Amino acid sequence: MSKQYKAAALISGGLDSLLAAKVMLEQGIHVEGINFFTGFCVEGHTAAIRKKQQDKPKRNNALWSAEQLGIKLHIVDIVEEYKDVLINPKHGYGANMNPCLDCKIFMVKKAKQWIEENDFDFIITGEVMGQRPMSQRKEVMPVVVDESGAGDLLLRPLCAKNLPKTKPEIEGWVDREKLLAFHGRNRKPQMALAKEFGFEDYASPAGGCCFLTDENYATKLVDLWQARSTRDYEMDDIMLLKVGRHLRPKPYFKLIVGREEGENKFMQGYTKMFTNIKTVSHAGPLTLIDGPADKEDLEYAAQIVARYSQGKNEEAVTLQISRVNEDPYEVTVKPLTADEVKQEWHV
Amino acid sequence: MSEHTLDARRLLCPMPVIRTQNKVNELEKGDILTVTCTDPGVLNDIPAWCRINGHEVLNTSQEDDEIFITVKVC
């Protein structure tokens, strides 16, 4: 009996990685999925926080893909290691703060380590030549091969016929003739293949899976780095950038104002770590203060928070200010008017 | 067979799934793990992870904002 070769598939939860894995399964390859969690993955987080979205059925598309394929999925936490990729990308950023090429190289490198540790034979990805402006251009596809260290153990089933032969093809582990030659940004071939395989309800084609490609999110991240004068972050920072309305009235502190009940509830978990402001006399949002605001700053912040409360048109609103490890105290302030909340404060 | 617990409160998916996965990988076949979470996403994600990796969800319950999922390692 001939050996069954084993491939580790990078599964993002999108259509391309689903199809690439299926193409390999069709050739009798044993496939298991790897999904890397960078902390910036769109999967889950915001939907879990915001109450109004909780009524919608929520699924993790990487898990869904693995279930459709009937393969195991290993989710790997790379939050800490990923910092260096984001902060010091050798190949730079895309349109926003997305270090797509360095990210791809890093993930393939991690997959190479994984196959060595788990006795797998090669790696597959759902890359399609020319599909993505940064990481899937024809000229950078060999860069991923070289800089990841994967070499000829990296097979891209959806566009393999456009690329030099890899070891699995040379050695006959897979049949190159049954691989594909997809290229460019046209998604119709993928959709047709999905139909052929009977995949329905797959994640939005070409949909981004990373917050770093989102302009608003990237702006908040850069603002955070500028305010702290250091390009670093913790997991809690990443999470809080996804939540609330961010206003920076002074360079050294900002307000994170909950926009609805789900966000307020989520932010409640951070009240022991951040100075926070709650409305007392009227219904209103929970607000976290990020940065070294003094007593005067906090009173001003209270006026801003009051603007987002039910008492925004009243003469006086009472709020409770709680500093970390100090007794809370109350202040009564006049809410700022809409004009006084300056547009440039909004991050 | 031994029983274990895992606190995944305040974590958002997929972190509770990752913690569950890593804990299960340390356990023996037949062991029981009860995970406590607060992200409702786990109601879909942990059972899905168990299905694809061959483990069994014995029980799911909710009390106030906390969700308890009991998994048998298979």
A45–B10 CB contact, under 8 Å: no
Q: Express each pLDDT in A59-86 by its tens digit.
A: 889 999 999 999 999 999 999 999 999 9
B49–A72 CB contact, under 8 Å: no
Tell me which of A20-24, A180-184, A330-334 is least confident.
A180-184
Residue of B nearest to A79 (CA): B15
Q: How far is CA B50 from the centre of its chain?
A: 8
Question: Does any CB of chain A come closer than 8 Å to the CB of residue B15?
Answer: yes
- Give me the CATH number covering residue A175: 3.40.50.620
Residue of A nearest to B25 (CA): A74
Q: Which of A211, A229, A261 is the last residue of a domain?
A: A211
Q: What is the CA radius of gyration of chain B?
A: 11
B41–A58 CB contact, under 8 Å: yes
Mean pLDDT of A150-162: 97
Q: Which of A211, A228, A251 is the last residue of a domain?
A: A211
Q: Is residue A223, in this structure, part of any structural domain at all?
A: no
Q: Express each pLDDT in B16-62 by its tens digit.
A: 999 999 999 999 999 999 999 988 889 999 999 999 999 999 999 99
pTM over 0.95: no
How many structural domains is chain A composed of? Answer: 2
Residues A286 and A332 both lie in one domain: yes
Question: Does any CB of chain A come closer than 8 Å to the CB of residue B52?
Answer: yes
Residues A206 and A249 both lie in one domain: no
Question: Does any CB of chain A come closer than 8 Å to the CB of residue B51?
Answer: yes
B14–A44 CB contact, under 8 Å: yes
Residues A61 and A185 both lie in one domain: yes
Structural domain of residue A194, as residue ranges?
A: 6-211
B15–A43 CB contact, under 8 Å: no
* SS3 call for A65: helix
Q: Is residue A263, in this structure, part of any structural domain at all?
A: yes
Rounded distance between C-alpha atoms, residue A233 and residue A237, angstroms: 6
Q: What is the CA radius of gyration of chain A?
A: 24
What distances in angstroms separate CA A173 from CA A5, A18, A30, A155, A177, one per listed residue? 7, 20, 11, 11, 12
Q: Is residue A119, in this structure, part of any structural domain at all?
A: yes
Give B67's strand partners: B37, B62
Residue of A nearest to B53 (CA): A72
Of A37, A67, A74, the CB nearest to B48: A67
- Give me the CATH number covering residue B20: 3.30.110.40
Residues A163 and A33 both lie in one domain: yes
Name residues whose C-beta falls within 8 Å of residue A235's C-beta, 6 or more positions apart in sequence: A39, A79
Cβ contacts of B51 on chain A, cutoff 8 Å: 67
Q: Both ends of chain B: CA-CA distance in Å?
A: 11
Q: Which of A159, A193, A211 is the last residue of a domain?
A: A211
Of B14, B39, B44, the CB nearest to A37: B14
Rounded distance between C-alpha atoms, residue A344 and residue A241, angstroms: 17
Residue A105 pLDDT grade (very low, low, confident, very high; cuts 50, 70, 90): very high
Residues A327 and A190 both lie in one domain: no
Q: Does B50 participate in catalysis according to the annotation?
A: no
Q: Rounded to a whole number, what is the distance in Å from the CA of B69 to chain A's nearest CA?
A: 17
Tell me whether strands A275-279 and B66-72 are parallel, antiparallel or unpaired: unpaired
Residue A43 pLDDT grade (very low, low, confident, very high; cuts 50, 70, 90): low
Q: Is residue A83, in this structure, part of any structural domain at all?
A: yes
Give B35's strand partners: B6, B69
How many structural domains is chain B composed of? Answer: 1
Q: Kindly list the strands in the beta sheet with A287-290, ordered across the sheet, starting from the edge strand earlier in the chain.
A: A245-250, A253-257, A287-290, A275-279, A317-322, A329-333
Phi, psi of A151 (to 5 degrees): 55, -135
Structural domain of residue B66, as residue ranges?
A: 3-72
Q: Express each pLDDT in A304-347 by its tens digit.
A: 999 999 999 999 999 999 999 999 999 999 999 999 999 999 99
Interface of A with B (CB under 8 A): 35, 37, 41, 43-45, 47-49, 54, 57-60, 62-64, 66-67, 70-77, 239, 265, 269
Q: Is residue A341, in this structure, part of any structural domain at all?
A: yes
Q: Is residue A32, in this structure, part of any structural domain at all?
A: yes
What's the token pair of residue A287?
A: 């607000």
Q: Is residue A228, in this structure, part of any structural domain at all?
A: no
What distances in angstroms separate CA B21 from CA A89, A125, A144, B25, one per listed residue? 30, 23, 29, 6
* SS3 call for A60: coil
Of B41, B48, B52, the CB nearest to A48: B41
Contact assessment for residue A347 and residue A223, using Cβ atoms and an 8 Å cutoff = yes
Residues A247 and A177 both lie in one domain: no
Give A35's strand partners: A75
Residues A253 and A203 both lie in one domain: no
Can you give the pLDDT at residue A42?
Answer: 74
Residues A61 and A194 both lie in one domain: yes
B48–A75 CB contact, under 8 Å: no
Cβ contacts of B17 on chain A, cutoff 8 Å: 60, 63, 75
Q: How far is CA B65 from the centre of its chain?
A: 16
Contact assessment for residue A67 and residue B52, using Cβ atoms and an 8 Å cutoff = yes
B13–A48 CB contact, under 8 Å: yes
**DSSP letter for each residue of A95-137:** SSS--HHHHHHHHHHHHHHHHHHTT--EEE----BTSSTTTS-
